[in-house]
Amino acid sequence: MRHRYLVSYDICDKKRLRTVFKKMNGYGDAVQLSVFSCELSDKERELMIGVLDAIIHHDQDQVMIVDLGPVDGLERTRIKVLGRKDPPPTNDPLVV
């Protein structure tokens, strides 16, 4: 069964921050700066945790993973967003 996870991170080093952001793009969708919404199986969640665990410095950085429950359509009632509905712009260059 797939669950929706809210993943938020606070990374002190810019290089590690970029690395975490790039890795997280493979697991979910950016909903805010340093916040991702991910629909993952148990195995995918464990893989994601392993990848992040290998990148972060545990004495400086923090990753928070919140299980919002099964992906069954009810997650829309669990999340309330005020203001802008799209993810914020990034400072990364746009290549067309």
In a domain, 18, yes or no: yes
47-89 pLDDT per residue, tens? 999 999 999 999 999 999 999 888 876 555 667 777 766 655 5
For residue 25, is it within any domain? yes
Q: Are 59 and 70 in contact (CB under 8 A)?
A: no
Q: What is the pLDDT of residue 72?
A: 77
Query: Is 41 part of a structural domain of the chain?
Result: yes
- Which residues neighbour 56 within 8 Å (Cβ) at sequence distance 6 or greater? 9, 11, 16, 20, 62, 63
Query: What's the CATH number where 22 sits?
Result: 3.30.70.240
**Domain boundaries, position 36:** 3-70
In a domain, 90, yes or no: no
pLDDT in tens, 27-42: 999 999 999 999 999 9
pLDDT of residue 78: 67
Furthest-apart CA pair in the chain: how many Å?
A: 39
pTM: 0.81
Residue 86 lies in a domain: no
